[in-house]
Amino acid sequence: MNDHGTRIYLHLRRFGPFYSRLVKEHQWHELCPDNTTSVCSAQEVQLQTVYSTGILMTVLGQTVFGLLLDTIGPRYMTLVAYVFSIAGNVCLAVGDSRDGTDGLLVAGYALIGFGGMRILYASLQLSTLFNEPALYTSLLVAAYSFSGYIFVLLELDVARQSFFVGYALLVAASMVLAYAVFPVHHILTQSPTVTTPGFAVVRSHVDRPKLDQLWVGLKRQVKRRDYWVYVSLGSMLFLVVIFGGGAMPSIIAASRVPANDSQHDNHDLQRVYTNYLYPLISNSSFLFSPLAGYLVVHFGFRKTFYTTIGIFALLCGSFMLPSLPAQNATFVLMAAANAFLTTMQYVYIST
């Protein structure tokens, strides 16, 4: 399945503030010519390596943790994911290009992408408990997307080390909560309640017959025409978000600012767009997710997917708007595109 949505979007939303923090700290600026005050091409390559590696590991994590979820179950898959997330946050806290540990910056962002978001995997299978899984899924995606706002706090007067150590502690606390709340084994049937073992240690086991069933199901799935149509269209829309989101800081820098502003004012305005407006507005997908779920329930999957394609067409056009204030429309469309595509992904998976 093309199930990359929400984790990828969170990478896109938080990259703006993280990018600016690295630039502010002059990470990799030693690669630039002497007396260079702005980001040079060699430095930009390293900054984009952080982003691209994080995206790559996020996509890779879909396969790894999807397999773990189907074998060892939600509880223990979540614990493994949180361990990667904690390690990633610690790496981001201590990495620094000026002392030769810049590899930890790349590895840390990648580890967070690889393991830190898999809690949503375990949560989505709870949709089988509800009569209307589409509405539950959209609300869950909305709440999850809201977490992307936390990286905006990097703009506050807080040390990067303190920020990511605190984030690691928050993840550790969440890991304890997930251990108590999540079931050991899959929930396969609709039910008003489900019993979890709490803090009791219950041994999980690899369900080999289920692995065989998954293989049989996969071979049957790839023969379906709707599967390939969905994967093809979803992949194209997904690539729009990937390239557009990664290029957004550069698009903002190249956009025309209002007349009569000084060069210093222009820089400050672009910084506001990159570090505040971009993550805050584009991460407001939680406002659109319930609408997407409502449309699926009342108008069906096909019409809602047509609406999703229309939103992405508008988004592609908005990338070419030359005015900086007009990029606010791009941010709104990115939020709507995020909400609709992610909701469609999980509704397709759960039906």
Q: What is the DSSP string of 310-336?
A: HHHHHHHHHTT--BTTTHHHHHHHHHH
Q: Which domains are assigned to the chain? A: 5-350 (1.20.1250)
Q: Over the stretch 232-284, which tens digit does the pLDDT of each residue have? A: 887 788 778 777 777 787 788 777 776 655 555 677 788 888 877 887 788 77
CA 288, 291, 297, 300 dihedral sign is: negative
| pLDDT, position 65 | 76
Let me know: does 171 contact 86? Beta carbons within 8 Å: yes
Has this prediction a pTM greater than 0.85? no
CA distances from 240 to 87, 233, 284, 319 (A): 30, 11, 18, 10
pLDDT-above-90 percentage for the chain: 21
Q: Residue 341: is its pLDDT beyond 50?
A: yes
Q: Over the stretch 207-225, which tens digit does the pLDDT of each residue have? A: 677 677 777 877 887 888 8
| pLDDT, position 138 | 67
| pLDDT, position 2 | 38
Query: What does the longest C-alpha to C-alpha distance in the chain come to?
Result: 70
Residue 256's φ and ψ, nearest 5 degrees, are: -80, 125
Lowest average pLDDT, out of 6-15, 211-220, 283-292, 295-304, goes to 6-15
